[in-house]
Amino acid sequence: MRNYLEEINGVIGVTGSLLCSPDGTLIASVLPESISEETLLVVSRTLAKTLDGLRLARHRKVTEMDLAYESGRLVVKNLSEGYLIILCTPNINVSLLNLAANPVVKRMQEALKAGGAPSKKTAGPPTPEPPAQAVTPAPPAVAVPSPLAPRLQAALDIVRAGRESRVVLRVMGEGALRIRCPSVADKPTRPEEEDTVQLAARSGQPVDATLKRLGYVGDSRFNTLFGSERMRFAHPQTRLYVEIFYDHLASYHRLEIGSRLHLDNGTLPLADLLLSQLQNVEASEPDFWRLAAVLIDHDLGGPGQPETIDVTHIVTLCSEDWGWYKTVMMNLEKCLEWAPKQLPAERSPGFQQHVARLHGMIEDAPKSLRWQTRARIGERQRWYELPE
Amino acid sequence: MVEIAQILAKIDGVAGAVLVAEDGVVLAHTLEGDPEKEGAVAAFLGAAAVQAGEAMKLGRLKRATVSMANDHIVVLKSKEYFVGLLLQGGASPALVASRAETLLEGVK
């Protein structure tokens, strides 16, 4: 997506652009460095909520919004699957902007509909996503310990096969952590995870056809009962079990992942992997190791930086939902107590620094009305679900 | 206030005008439909545009235009209130906004 934005930024009078999801979550941005992530978050959320509010009020979709200020201009285009916000100079020729940007916008729409992958029509320069062969992060997949490598490789093969048939699949759970975080590689695998991989998908996509092509057989009873949310498959030869989660991960908290699959190429984004660990209200020793691995191996960052943890997503979630806030903050605080005792001396300070920074950003972020209302009730009412 | 709304409504391409305080209270209008609803839309859009501009340090809001297929709404910020202009089909938001800004300057 950054390539598309860079193309738009090439139009005379455009100084930057960003792409956000319909709920205002940042997907990618190419803007002057002087604009902070917090600012981007405020703008994308404000504008997304405004467009949604106008749609509800007028019962019609807002196609475009043009905000003219003394020293700049914001042009917002509705891509259905998200919003493109273009920052321009005040005297920009909007007709010229539309003429130059609309073909790119159309390609962005197609890519968003296809889950972030470029359509065949738009393949070629600029290429927004690596080709199927370059499923990232392929190098870590090779580097993981040999007893696990075939399982992880099989998971990435499913992702690749999905891409070839335009089905968006991403590795999640323990497998994704082992692919993305070298620090977790030497930790023992839970017995129930040794022969299973978990993948995330969008509902309505022909996932079963993709898996069947690779020789997997569906668990017909489970899939009939729970197929709208989860599906299970097994490979008769490799004895590998595959579990598919559609659109969300429901555990102690509900983590929406359907709209975020396109943000990374092989696995769920690092922010979602971290959240899937931070949501654990009853986190134990192995959970802290996994949590630590994400924060040790990756820097805190922003949207559009797949090798860093997009803290804006975590901060947004915790600022909207008090339950998420409570559990995440509780686990971050536990991490700070756990790290000095358990982590090697050379790793502990960096980890604690990341944890403290994330804790501070969540604490300082403005909270939604819903958050404040729920906060008044506090712990008197259970703030999490009890997983099955 | 009513006069201002009437003057603005006479601009070529304007179907109706509403003047609304920042809290959404309609001060004056020339609308036949639901002025409260249109006023709320103008205040909502205006407040969001001001907030986004302040966050990006883009200076004073001059105008906000929203397009819904062939329908356009233009919102201008005056000192104490927002001006919402509902445009006729085919009207140019930029031209209407420019004329409205000139008229509002004259009113001050």
> Is A141 found in the same domain as A108?
no
Name which of A37, A40, A47, A66 to mutate to probe chain B: the one with the most chain B Cβ atoms within 10 A of its Cβ.
Answer: A66
Closest Cβ opposite residue A47 in set B48, B67, B68: B48
Closest Cβ opposite residue B56 in set A43, A57, A61: A43
CB contact under 8 A, A60 and B66: no
Which range marks the domain in which residue A86 is found?
2-113
ipTM value, please give it.
0.93
User: Which one of A65, A98, A113 terminates a domain?
Assistant: A113
pLDDT score at A28: 86
- Establish if A129 belongs to a structural domain: no
Domain total of chain A:
2
pLDDT digits (tens, 9 = 90+) for A77-115: 988 888 999 999 988 888 788 888 888 888 888 887 776
> Is A152 found in the same domain as A106?
no
pLDDT digits (tens, 9 = 90+) for A279-295: 999 988 888 888 999 99
pLDDT digits (tens, 9 = 90+) for A332-370: 999 999 988 888 887 888 888 899 999 999 998 888 888
User: Which one of A50, A78, A113 terminates a domain?
Assistant: A113
> Could you tell me which residue, A102 or A218, shows the higher pLDDT?
A218
Q: How far is A358 from chain B (nearest CA, A)?
A: 22
Q: Which residue of B has its CA nearest to A95?
A: B94
CB contact under 8 A, B55 and A39: yes
Which residues 14-73 in chain B show a CB within 8 A of chain A?
Answer: 37, 40-41, 44-45, 48-49, 51-53, 55-69, 71
CB contact under 8 A, B52 and A47: yes
- Establish if A209 belongs to a structural domain: yes
pTM over 0.80: no
User: Which one of A113, A145, A169 terminates a domain?
Assistant: A113
Q: Where are the domains of chain B?
A: 2-107
- Establish if A285 belongs to a structural domain: yes
Confidence of residue A132 (pLDDT cuts 50, 70, 90): very low
Whether the CB-CB separation of B83 and B104 falls below 8 Å is answered with yes
Fold classification of B2-107 is: Beta-Lactamase (3.30.450)
- Establish if A94 belongs to a structural domain: yes
